[in-house]
Amino acid sequence: MSKINLQIDEKKVEADRGMTLLEAAKTAGIWIPTLCHYEKLEPYGACRICIVEIGSGSSTKLVVSCLYPVEENLTVRTKSEKIDRIRKMILELLLAHAPDSFELDELAKEYGADKNRFDKETSFCIHCGLCVRYCAEVKKAHAVGFVDRGAKREISFVPEIASKECWKCKECFPLCPTSALQAAYVLTEALTSAVPSFKGEPEDP
């Protein structure tokens, strides 16, 4: 496979065609923060914290590194005043929902994010979709999914499936950047509310 040469943070990097900037940076030992990324899953590009700057001179552009494919001779900057400012804001927005998340806390220290910038709406979930995607893509169980849209978007277990599949799996819990709190919470809730439907009349086959 032909190699692609690019430059990340002044460092010359050789990458495989089809790699993302994030992957290329990793091979070169350059760290970029991520929240919704997981190697085993399809790239998702939702948290936007892995944002980097590409191009040089006056024609620079911000892109998310977990999605953007490597290009020959591309110049990439993974840190800048602007990038840090965006990452800080993203963290502050998320901390309003999950102030106790260890992962967010660590990143908050790195970027000087203020936990209390926005009023708390502790819903724990930061909608990274790791549980949803893991369950669908790796386990093919589809026990948890998103519902609704916009600011009302939530994750929700499908009781009919969760009651059969989840107890023996639970592999999504450790993936949750907010310490599995939300996943566990929603799961329990879903299971309790699922009980009546079991007692109901049996479905015809």
Partner 1 sequence: MDKEKIDQIIDKHEGEASSLIQILLEIQSENHWLPGNALERVSEKLNVPLSRIKHIATFYKAFSLIPKGRNEIHICMGTACHVRGANRVLDTVQDITGIKPGETDLDLKFSLETVNCLGCCALGPVMEINGKTHGKMTPAETAGILKNYE
Partner 2 sequence: MSRINSPSELEELRKSILSERDPDKPCITLCTGSACHASGSEGVADAIEEEINKQGLSGKVDIRKTGCHGFCERGPIIVNHPDETTYLQIEPDDIPEIVSMTIKEKKVVDRLLYTDPSTNENIIHESEIPFYKYQERLVFGSNGSIDPKSIEDYLAIGGYSALSKVLSQMTDLEVLEEIKKSNLRGRGGGGFPAGRKWEGSRNAPEKVKYVIVNADEGDPGAYMDRALLEGNPHLILEGLIIGAYAIGAREGYIYVRQEYPLAVENITLAIKKAQEFGFLGESILGTGFDFIVKVHQGAGAFVCGESSALMTALEGRAGEPRPKYIRSNIKGLWNKPSVLNNVETWANVPLIINRGAQWFSEIGTEGSKGTKIFSLVGKITNTGLVEVPMGMTLRDIIYKIGGGIPDGKKFKAVQTGGPSGGCIPEEQLDLQVGFDELTKAGSMMGSGGMIVMDEDTCMVDVARYFIEFLTDESCGKCVPCREGMRQMLKILTNITKGMGQEGDIELLEELSEVLGVASLCALGRTAPNPFLSTLKYFRDEYEAHINEKKCPALSCKELISYYIDPEKCNACMICFKKCPSYAIDGGKNRIHVIDQEKCTKCETCFEVCPSRFGAVKKVSGEPVPPSVPEEKRTIIRKSKKK
Instruction: Examine residue 199 and tell whether it contacts partner 1 (CB under 8 A).
Output: no
Give the burial class of 12: count Cβ atoms within 10 A of its Cβ; 0-12 exposed, 13-18 middle, 19 or more buried.
Answer: exposed
Helix (H) or strand (E) holding 56: strand 51-56
For residue 143, the partner it binds in ligand FES, partner 2, partner 1, none, with Cβ less than 5 to 8 A by kind, is partner 1
The CA distance from 54 to 82, in Å, is 13
Query: What's at 172, amino acid-wise?
Result: C
Instruction: Examine residue 47 and tell whether it contacts ligand FES (CB under 6 A).
Output: yes
- HSE of 123, CA atoms in CB hemisphere, 13 A: 13
For residue 50, the partner it binds in partner 1, ligand FES, partner 2, none, with Cβ less than 5 to 8 A by kind, is ligand FES
For residue 134, the partner it binds in partner 1, ligand FES, partner 2, none, with Cβ less than 5 to 8 A by kind, is none
Residue listed under structure tokens 């849209």: 149
Instruction: Examine residue 1 and tell whether it contacts partner 2 (CB under 8 A).
Output: no
The CA distance from 179 to 165, in Å, is 21
Task: Tell me which of 8, 24, 50, 90 binds ligand FES, using CB under 6 A.
Answer: 50
Dihedral, CA atoms, 67, 70, 71, 77, nearest 10 degrees? 90
For residue 109, the partner it binds in partner 1, partner 2, ligand FES, none, with Cβ less than 5 to 8 A by kind, is none
Instruction: Examine residue 150 and tell whether it contacts partner 2 (CB under 8 A).
Output: yes
One character per residue 163-192, x = contact with partner 2 (rule: CB under 8 A) = ------------------------------
- Residue 4 three-state SS: strand
How far apart are CB 185 and ligand FES at their closest, in Å? Answer: 23
- Residue 106 three-state SS: helix
Residues 116-135 close enough to bind partner 1 by CB under 8 A: 132
The CA distance from 179 to 114, in Å, is 20
Residues 126-185 close enough to bind partner 1 by CB under 8 A: 132, 136, 142-149, 156, 158, 160-161
The window from 5-13, 29-37, 83-91, 186-194 that contacts ligand FES (CB under 6 A) reads 29-37
